[in-house]
Structure 1
Amino acid sequence: MARPLVADIDLDALRHNYCLARELAPHSQALAVIKADAYGHGSVACAAALESLPAGVRPPAFAVASIEEAEALREGHIEAPIVLLEGIFEAGELARVEALGLWLAVHSEWQVNALLAHRPARPIPVWLKVDSGMHRLGFTPEEVTDVWKRLTESPECVTAVQLMSHFATADAVDDGYFRQQLACMRELAQRLDVPLCLANSPATLAWPEAHGAWVRPGVMLYGSDPLEVASDATRRLKPVMTLRSEIIAMRDLNIGEAVGYAGRWRAPRPSRIAVVACGYGDGYDRHAVDGTPVLVAGQPASLAGKVSMDMLTVDVTDIAEAGIGTEVVLWGEASNGRVLSVDTVARHCDTISYTLLTGVLPRVPRRYLGLDA
C-alpha cells in the first residue's frame, strides 16, 4: 500500500477560476500564468485543462518565468503562445525563443540590444516592461519612450509591442500607491497609443479600472484569495489543490505529556493525538504553529507539536471517529465538502499561500481530477 499523502488537483475548479477571471474582465484578454510548475499544480496538466475550454473561452496565451518552463509546455504539446515574463537571461536563448514561437518580455537595455541584433526569421511579439513603482524589473517611465521607439522602428525584429507593469499593492486596502502606478501607466499608454497589461490576480479581482487589454491571473487560478480583505469575487474562487493524507498512528496522552521535537505542545487535558503522514519533507511548512487548522474526517482539528520531516501530529480529542486510516486534509476540500483554505493555513505559518502551493515537493503524487472535461 502506498503512503497515503496525495495532492488532488481539481481541474474543473481551475477552469472555473479562469472563467471567473474572464468574467471579471470581459473587455480584456486573460493571460494564464502557469510559472513555477503552475504554482505547484503541474504546468502541463493545467495548461492542457485550460486549452480544453471552448474556442473563445480558452486562454489566448500562457505565461512562464523561463525558457525551460516554456520548453516543458511545448514538450507537453501545448500549442498556445507563451510569454516569457522575465525575458531571456542571455542572448543565446533567442534562437530557442524563435524555435518555440515564444513572446518576449524585455526589461533591460541589454535585452533590447540583443533582440535588435538577432534578426529573427519572423518578428517576435514583445511586452515592454515598465518599472512604475515596484522597483524590480523594467525601464523607468522616463526611459520608456526611447525604448518603445527603437522597438517599433524595427519591424523586421519586433511586432505587437505592448506595455506591461506590475502592481506592488493591488492586494491592499490602502489604494494610494496602486493609483500612482496606474496613473503612470495610463499616461504612457495614452501618449504612445499602446495596449496595456497591468492587472495581476488582485487587480483582476478588485480593480476593473486596471484591466487594460490584458489581465494576468496567477494565484487566483488556483483558488487562493490574494486580497487583504475578502470580496464577493474572491469568495467565488474554488480550491484547486487538496493536500490529503491519513492518520497512520494514534497516541493517548495524560495531562502535561509532550508531543514531538522540543516538547513544544503539552496536553492540557487527557488527549488523543493522531500521527499524520505529511511533513516538511513533503513541503508542509515547518513553521506551522500549534493550533494550525486541519480537517480530520471533515471536522476542524489542529496541529499539536512541531512538524517533522515525514509526519505531523494533530489533536483529535474531540473527534470520536478519528482512527487509523481516517482522512486528513491539510488544505483544500474534504470528502464531506468542508473547505480549509490554503490562505488560512498560510497565516498560521506566517507566510502566504504561494509558498505553500509551490513548496509541495515532487515526492507527493499529483492526482488529477476532471481530466475528461
Structure 2
Amino acid sequence: MRPARALIDLGALQDNYLLARRLGGGKAVAIIKADAYGHGAVRCARALEPLADAFGVACIEEAIELREAGITTPILLLEGFLDADELPLVDQHRLWTAVASPWQLQALANFTPSAPLHVWLKLDSGMHRLGLSPDDFARALQQLSNDPKIASVVAMSHLARADELDSDFSERQRVVFEQATQGFTGKTSFNNSPALLGWPGIHSDWVRPGLMLYGANPFPLTAEIPHVLRPVMQLESRLIAVRDLPAGEAVGYGARFTAPVSMRIGVVAMGYADGYPQLAPNGTPVVVDGVATRLVGRVSMDMLTVDITDLPQATVGSKVVLWGHQPLPTPSQIAETCGTSGYALLCGIKRVRREYIDASTGTAS
C-alpha cells in the first residue's frame, strides 16, 4: 500500500471549534464545506456533532451527504439553493438556507414547505459577491420576518478583508452591517475565522469558523495573534528510494536543483497529485525520522526528493512528515513558503488515505 497518508486529529478539531465558540461568545456554525477543507466532512461532522450548534456547507450535495451519514445537527447552505427545484430537498432534509439574491426570494415566496423554513438573509456589506444591497436587504428582512412560512431569519454578511489586520475595510463593513440591521431583533452572523482571531471589536450572535477549525492561521506568519490553534492534519509518507547524487548532478524535472557537493537524496511517495504544492521551492522544510531537513528539486506528480546527506540513519521506509503540528512545519508555514494559502493547501489534499485519531481514545483508524 502506498505510504502517503493524512492523519487527522479529531481532538484538535474539537478544541479549535470550542475556541471559536468562546471567542464568538454565542453560537458557532462549523464550516465543513469542501469535504471539511480536505479533512473528510463526514468524519469531522461526527466528531463535532456533540459540540456543534450547526454545520455550514456550500451546496445541497454536501448537505445530503451528511444527512445520509446520519448527521441530524442543523446544516446551513452557505450559497443557498442554486435552483428553485432544490427547495423540496431543502424542506425534506430540514436544511437552513442562505438567501442572497432577488430570484431566491421570489422562489421562496412561490414555495410552500411542509414546515416553516430557517433562512439566513445575506447583506452585501462590501464584498460585492453574493448578497442584497442595503435597501433591498431591509425590504427582504421585513418580508421574511412577516412570512408564516419562515420559522426564523438570521441576518448575515461576509467580511472580504478580515485577514488584513492593517486594513480598515472590515470596520467599514461592520458599520454597513450594523446600519442595515438596526432595529432588527433577530440573530446576526458576521464573523469568520480571521474576524474571530484578529478583530475583537466585531461581534455577531452566530459566528462561522472555517479555516481555524483545522488549525491553520489565516494571517501572515508575522502577525501576532494571542490564540493557539492546533493543526488537525499531519501529512506524511515514507522514503521509497535513496540515491547518491554526485557533485554537479541535478535531480528531478527541469534540473532545478544541482548538488553543490556529493549528497544523499531521499525519494518520497508524495507529489502534487496528492495535493503537495507543485511549486514548493528548494529548501521547503520537511522532517525525516524526526529530524528537520529540506526539499530539493521540483515536486513531481507522485514523488518529491529531500536532502538526507546529514541523516545517515535515513533509509527506505523512513518516515517523512510534510506538515503537522509544531515543532513540525505547520500547514500555515508550508503555505506561506510555497506562495499559497492555508485554504488552498488543505482543500487540495486528495488521493492520500485519511486516518483519524479518535478524540477520546487517541487511537488511529
Given the two structures, how large is their TM-score scaled by the length of structure 2?
0.95
From 84, 92, 101, the counterpart of 1:99: 92
Match for residue 254 of structure 1 among 246, 254, 262: 246
1:103-182 to 2 correspondences below 5 Å? 103-155=96-148, 157-182=149-174
CA distance in 2, matches of 1:232, 1:177: 19
My pick for the range that moved more, 35-44 or 298-307, is: 298-307
Give the secondary structure class of the aligned counterpart of 2:87.
helix
2:62 to 52, 66, 69: 69
> Could you list the per-position Cα deviations for residues 131-151 of structure 1 after superposition, in whole angstroms to 9, with x for gaps in the alignment?
111110000112211111221
Q: Are 2:340 and 1:360 aligned?
A: no
Q: CA deviation at 1:350?
A: 1.3
* Residues 189 and 195, structure 1, Cα contact 8 Å, conserved in 2: no
1:278-357 to structure 2, matched below 5 A, reads 278-333=270-325, 338-357=327-346
Distance apart, 1:372 and its partner CA:
4.4
Amino acid at match of 1:139: L
In structure 2, how many angstroms separate the alpha carbons of the residues matched to 1:233 and 1:269?
A: 43
| 1:55 counterpart residue number | none
Aligned-partner residue type, residue 133 of structure 2:
T
User: Which residue number in structure 2 is paired with residue 10 of structure 1?
Assistant: 9
Q: CA deviation at 1:324?
A: 1.2
Q: Do the aligned partners of 1:13 and 1:239 also contact (CA within 8 Å) in 2?
A: yes
How far apart in 2 are the matches of 1:132 and 1:295? 44
Structure 1 stretch displaced more, 38-47 or 300-309: 300-309
Deviation by residue 1:242-279 (Cα, 9 ceiling, x = unmatched): 11101111111122110001111001222111100001
Q: Distance in 2 between matches of 1:280 and 1:175?
A: 34
Cα distance per residue 1:65-107 (max 9 Å; x no partner): 0000000100111100000000011000000000100001000
Say if 1:61 and 1:80, in contact at 8 Å, map to a contact too: yes
User: Within 1, Cα distance between the matches of 2:315 and 2:203?
Assistant: 50
What secondary structure sits across from 1:178 in the alignment?
Answer: helix
Q: Distance in 1 between matches of 2:60 and 2:360?
A: 29
1:298–1:338 CA contact under 8 A, matched in 2:
no
| Deviation of 1:25 (Å) | 2.1
Check whether the contact 2:27–2:205 (CA below 8 A) recurs between aligned residues: yes
CA distance, structure 1, for counterparts of residue 358 and residue 225 of structure 2? 26
Q: Distance in 1 between matches of 2:2 and 2:335?
A: 24
1:279-313 superposed Cα distances (whole Å, 9 cap, x missing partner): 11212111111111111112221111111111000
- CA RMSD in angstroms, aligned pairs only: 1.4
The CA distance in 2 between the partners of 1:286 and 1:308, in whole Å, is 7
Runs (4+) of structure 1 exceeding 6 A deviation are none
Alignment of 1:239 with 2:231, yes or no, is yes
Residues 311-359 of structure 1, C-alpha deviation per residue, up to 9 Å, x if partnerless? 00011222232211111011114xxx73211111112221101111111
User: C-alpha separation between the residues in 2 aligned to 1:68 and 1:125?
Assistant: 18
Q: Aligned AA for 1:169?
A: R
Residue 23 (structure 1) shift:
2.0
Whole-angstrom CA distance in 1 between matches of 2:327 and 2:166? 32
1:370 aligns with 2:363: no
- Give the 3 Å change call, closer, same or farther, for CA 34–233 of structure 1 in structure 2: farther
Q: CA deviation at 1:371?
A: 5.3
> What's the secondary structure of 1:324's corresponding residue?
coil
| Larger deviation, residues 164-173 vs 221-230 | 221-230
| Partners of 2:197 and 2:225 within 8 A in 1 | no
One-letter amino acid of the counterpart of residue 20, structure 2 = A
Q: How many residues align?
A: 360
Q: Structure 2: which 5+ residue stretches go unaligned? A: none
Q: Which runs of 5+ in 1 are unaligned?
A: 53-57
Q: How many Å separate the matches in 2 of 1:332 and 1:324?
A: 22
Q: Determine whether 1:224 maps to 2:222.
A: no
